[in-house]
Structure 1
Amino acid sequence: MDQLARKSNEDILSRTPSIVWPSDVIKNDATTHNNSDSNQILKHALTDIASRSTVHGISNIVSSKSIYTRLVWILAFLACLGLVVYQLVNIFVLYMSFPTKTTYGLDRHFEFPSVTVCNNGFAEYDYSHAHLVENMLVSCKYAHINGSCETPSSYVSSKYGTCFTYNPPDYLARLSGLQGGITLELNLETHKQTNGIEYGMRYTVHDKNTFPFPFEDGVTVSGGDVGYIAINSRQIQRLGGDYGKCQNDIQIFGRIYTAKVHVYHSSVG
């Protein structure tokens, strides 16, 4: 009897339905409604921002009713965006390559260059050294002004011995021809030279305070002749730093050490 009573009680309990409290249902429904409202608010805000956007294509994508029209606007927007990115990348690459631009201009006046004069007869038979400048130079004048030349500086050449360089102090050439140039009258002193020497003067024009190259760049004038030399000045300013490997002028022994001097001494050495 006890077993039958216990079994009937278990059957009654197993058939008793579970009870769900109304508070749980209300809580779950409130959470679902809150998430849905948040999503709707966010969607509405994004749609409003996109429809008012000044970016071309975005507002048309949002406001288009037809899916085909919207697809066309999406493709057009992506194509334009890709073109903009492509141009920005090209501009950045070009900027990082540090491009340079070459400009040409005419200057009405420029710094007068240096003139180096060498005697082909580099040695005197009655003097242990070479010719003296006070014996070789008869007259010198800049722009037809007498006495405008200072004492020239000496330069020793392995080919011509002692040469003389004329550096006009802070003189700007404003006129072309003899009116704005230098005029030299030189004495070859042929009576003091040894036999077999080629009589004449070797002179070259070069940048101020640079090493001269009378043998490589010079012109020979024979005795008794009048020689004229006309030059066209071309000044090139190159950028250093990130734009190239150019360096500022380096002075050695009071002269500018140019690339040509470096090549010459390297080949000789």
Structure 2
Amino acid sequence: MARVTGRLSIFAGTGALVPHVVEAAQAAGYKVQLLALAPREAVAGVKMITADLDNPLGIIWSLNVFRTTHIVMAGGIHLPDKARQGLIRFANGNAAPSEIMADTPVGDAALAALGKVLKKMTGASLMGVHELSPELLAPEGSVAGPVCADPTAALFALQTARAIGALDIGQAAVVSGGRIIAVEDIGGTDALIERVAALRVRELTGTDTVPLVLAKAMQPQQAGFVDLPAIGTQTVANCAAAGITIIAVEAGRSLVLQREALMAAADELGVSVIGLRIDNG
């Protein structure tokens, strides 16, 4: 990427992606500030403020004071219902709940609506993490660990994840063969994996012959600057502990973090990671 002179505000959630994005942005020439949407450690040399979602006008003030030219959202962002409803009202001109259309996005897609409002009110451009770090995008084919022995189940898992994404529920699903075991909800991917682990303890799923597959896919209505599906070493470790032996991600539309460490973990724990393309229509 050619060096730039822009000023980048990063809406920062949880996880290891945020410091990586900061480093990539600084290497590209951006001045950076963090607007923390969740408690996290400070990043050396970078201004960090708490983004109070109950005060969206305060967020806009922070963006304008920094003279923000670009906005990125990075890391896990889990919004409680109160904050989510506040964002929906703000994105709809502070309309009363009764005035908001029934088909207005209320799940993760609400973040996309917020982004469009921020762009309108600040003039800043919206960027995806992959625009700063294209090397994080999942490739097609085997990514890590043993070669996937059951790509058919992996593809079904991705299609399932895409289907729940179309309902604005989540980005992930777990299947066993052609059976849907569990899907991601407001609790996030880690909570999904924990539920699958509990089902295995009860011997309701998971056999030696039919592997469990975790899949993460981009929501079809999702804007590219919002929270692309991502996996990292912790995802691999959590899946291994839960008895999930295959992780399928959408090639070119999801992020693989800490690639070298993830490959080492997948080899050690025997978890296959595969990138597949699915119909984006």
Q: How high is the TM-score relative to the length of structure 1? A: 0.23
Structure (1 or 2) with the larger CA radius of gyration: 1
Which is bigger in relative contact order (C-alpha 8 A, separation at least 6)?
2
